[in-house]
Structure 1
């Protein structure tokens, strides 16, 4: 057989050639603009030619500070395919973290959406290796120019460049892209994706046991392109020849519902918070039509079964829970039962994080390193390995996260006989009460099932008798008035009695990390500083 390299270049050639008539649709304040894949390929070639002129000749890092739009997708294709490395900067990191990751990665050029220029401008003077800023879109570049960097307009930069590029032969094991973790503890850590790992991950995403993206689909990539490469959805759409719908900065529920109604996507991907907000909008205004969606990939935090049931029963939309992390590219597991599964077992499986997709191997390990059985009872730290699982962090940071070829995920859970994993906590967030573990994730999932609850986060707080006990921080729906006693009673037949929280706090919102997860470190700190009005509820 031919030793044909698995590269992003191959995805570009196939998608923009064989499927050149398919379209990328980007939402704007004035409506929607459309770009064919053929035009996208030409734009990628123009950008690659321009980047060559700017001195990007080897594996230099090309950074992006951008929303999900067609220009960002052009960089996704151009930078890796020319032999450079795409580095997506997370716009939600703290400024000092953005400077840290850009400097550690040694970014040379950064492309920035003009709607984000004021956010990036104060950081630019601290980006030691960046020499050129490429401004995408309309707007005043003065704030960017104050950094002393060369500032160029994207449209002017590529205008006049050839729409063809001599894409080089690339070693499939060379770096294609890099993302940094969200940095909830210490500085973010870099994960470098190879061409081979990205290609194989894209194939897995397109497979039926994955997201199942095909040429008849329209993919709505809501998850940010700066977050684990948008879960691989952009590359999957190009590989499959599926149309792609990108929201740009329009991430509020009315805008998302409008995109579903007008653009009729069939597949979408976003974190549970997005779909929870959409669900509540639809409950207030049920006349909207989201029936084009045949499948929604949902992950980033536990997906409530109650929400999945609502979407399926009321709107005919199937939500599949998946699990992964920046270090796993990110797709690792997906929760979908086999044909013939009983209804009770069906929904029990839907409530898990799923089982590994082919290419990913998983095990659970005790504190002493012993591998535990997949019996649905034993609880330990989840470890994974596979061709798109990172084997180390960039520059060798935190070597303790790697165990003889396995990645220590930091997630705690159990695996049943069929390989379905249920995550009960992050190792750093587990509640150890009287020597026994309480799952904050399961408590949160149950609480969100209450009709008055919009969001709920559970954390461990100190307790004189039991060392730790759960604190439930709850956000109620508008007009709702459920009390702590009512919510505790609601939980009483869903979890064991000693899990029931005695401490409750009601808040307007729950703090989140840069990738939308509950920021439990901040919640614990706020509690310690008496930042919550805590209500006690006991039997």
Structure 2
């Protein structure tokens, strides 16, 4: 016999029944919104009823262009519980990409922040947005938008039933749609079923995942428009934890204030967010005594960031995932035999992408498809499969991305003897110098461990003899740049061969970012014209000792 369908709705209904007074808190442009799980369930019900009255049903797509706040959290449940797909649109994408994904997804209804209305209007094209029948504006006055039907959110849900007759859904029914950032081409859509998001939620609730419980106060800083805020809105609800949403464009002071005021225990975001918080804490007193864990993904956390938060009694938990894995696929927790190891040994594990989550399978293969040994040195592409890993892209065939049920992640990794996966690089970002690989990510981490470096991105550029050589783009506060370069090169030589040292350091005001906050290496490579000459600073691979 099979159990009841694996869908999202029971997560919210259980939370409303068992934790009716637990809070959801959101920072907005006008102040703070605060209500209980009982209120949350009613507000979700009204929105679901309003969507149903607007003829949104199974398989339809409702798009959001929103920041991290309570309205967005309500859409996270209201849309999927109708069997429709929540299509979260990244407002930082180029306008042409927004037009492409709206047209391809054929979104029927669009929910937009008033503060992002201008961004939406700039992307508007009557052909691309032909499918959009109505626009619902949240968080402010209804602006003038080039759509036939534009309505304020409060008016949209007014008088609707807070307890609708939800349709019976199956695990294979649709729930979500998220597009990649498209740095190497057009964004590609990944569909999530009810079962995929249910499975992912159950996995990250566990100690092997993000270990979320009802005692937690969870603040997703990672955007809700980017891979479901790493699944935290669903997991926090499933656990009965308190939600805290930081709203539009939070700065370090906003984040620290929310941690203090709301007693945040768990938060998540990319490394640059927490480096900014550390800078803020150097000059401001703050009480972070409630904060237990910071989940970092999108890029590896520099060692100095982990050490700095360790000194404050806050654990940095490193995770790995991607749009195609819904997204969390690995988390770096210490195995029992490592918990008594010396600090440096533990740190070497914690900076890795970690252990593949229970429920997923993985393998690492070389260019010929052969398995590579788990020796911490042999490199290969990571392949994964499991109940929350996609097997196809929306509206297209991409045979190169899949091998049957296996997803080819495009990530080049090693796996050590303890099973910890370490991301060496994206396949597109590995630097091939004289036939040998150099990890741009490893170089970035080594450079960013310098206290005066705020950001560092490394790319391979053409070289007359060696094919490619690394060039580092650095954002730094140091007045003595030559001393910084000398120190950074020494750090690299401590861990890697001499020929890994970048041939050139370029100091910039900021490193360009993709729409998902990652370093835009395509942009950086395009900045470099011509090719590097022979240098005496780097020893070629075939001459290294």
TM bucket (normalised to shorter chain) is: over 0.9
Which residue number corresponds to residue 140 of structure 2? 138
Q: 1:538 to 1:176 in 2, by over 3 A?
A: closer
Would the aligned equivalents of 1:101 and 1:188 in 2 still touch at CA under 8 Å? Answer: yes
Mapped pair 1:323 → 2:320: yes
> Is the 1:305–1:350 contact (alpha carbons within 8 Å) kept by the matching residues of 2?
no
Alignment gaps of 5+ in structure 2: 540-545
CA distance in 2: counterparts of 1:386 and 1:394, whole angstroms: 18
Structure 1: tracts of 5 or more residues without a match: none
- Does the residue aligned with 2:156 lie in a helix, a strand or coil? helix
Q: Select between 324-333 and 43-52 the one with higher mean Cα deviation.
A: 43-52
Q: Which residue of 1 aligns with 2:8?
A: 8
Alignment partner, residue 215 of structure 1: 214
Residue 499 of structure 2: aligned partner: 498
Preserved contact between residue 478 and residue 484 of structure 2 (Cα < 8 Å):
no
Shift of 1:188: 0.6
SS of match in other structure, 2:367: coil
What corresponds to 1:516 in structure 2?
517
Structure 1 distance, partners of 2:466, 2:184, is 26
> In the alignment, which residue of structure 1 is the partner of 2:543?
none
CA distances 1:318-352 after superposition (whole Å, capped 9, x unpaired): 00100000000111001111234112331111121
User: 1:507 matched to which residue of 2?
Assistant: 508
> d(CA) in 1 for partners of 2:201 and 2:310?
27
The residue number in structure 2 matching 1:228 is: 227
- 2:156 matched to which residue of 1? 157
Determine the C-alpha separation between the residues in 1 that align with 2:262 and 2:480.
34
Alignment partners' CA distance in 1, 2:487 and 2:235: 45
How far residue 290 of structure 1 moved from its aligned partner, in angstroms, is 1.8
Specify which of 130, 134, 148 is matched with residue 128 of structure 1: 130
Cα distance, 1:480 vs. partner?
Answer: 6.3
Tell which deviates more after alignment, 339-348 or 433-442: 339-348
Secondary structure (helix, strand or coil) at the match of 2:329 reads: strand
Pairwise CA distance, 1:538: 6.4
Shift, 1:479, TM fit: 5.5
> Is the contact between residue 462 and residue 530 of structure 2 (CA under 8 Å) also seen in structure 1?
no
Whether the aligned pair in 2 keeps the contact of 1:109 and 1:130 (CA below 8 Å) is yes
- 1:269-313 CA distance string (max 9 Å, x none): 11111011111111233x112221111111001111221111111
SS at structure 1 position matched to 2:518? coil
- CA shift for structure 1 position 376: 1.7
Q: What is the distance in 2 between the residues matched to 1:265 and 1:127?
A: 39
Residue deviations 1:73-113 (CA, integer Å, cap 9, x gap): 11110110011111111111111111111111110000001
Paired with 2:441 and 2:188, the residues of 1 have a C-alpha distance of 25
Are positions 1:254 and 2:256 aligned together? Answer: no
| SS of residue in 1 equivalent to 2:122 | coil
TM-score (norm 2): 0.94
Q: Is the 8 A contact 2:446 2:488 kept in 1?
A: no
2:287 pairs with 1:289: yes
SS at match of 2:198: helix
Evaluate the alpha carbon distance shift between residue 478 and residue 135 of structure 1 in structure 2; reply closer, same or farther with a 3 A threshold: farther
Contact in 2 for aligned 1:504/1:536 (Cα 8 Å):
no
Between the aligned partners of 1:109 and 1:16, the Cα distance in structure 2 is 27
SS at 1:262 equivalent: helix
**Using the alignment, how far apart are the partners of 1:398 and 1:511 within structure 2?**
28
Moved more, 250-259 or 68-77: 250-259
Match of 1:412?
412
Q: CA offset at residue 140 of structure 1? A: 4.2
Contact 1:11 1:238 in 2 (8 A): yes
Task: Answer whether contact 1:484 1:536 (CA < 8 A) is retained.
Answer: no
How far did residue 489 of structure 1 move? 2.9
Partner of 2:81 in structure 1? 81
TM-score by length of 1: 0.95
Contact 1:178 1:191 in 2 (8 A): yes
Distance in 2, Cα, partners of 1:379 & 1:538 = 23
Q: How does 1:389-400 map to 2 (within 5 A)?
A: 389-400=389-400
Cα contact 2:414–2:423 (8 A) shared by 1 = yes
Q: Distance in 2 between matches of 1:536 and 1:284?
A: 42
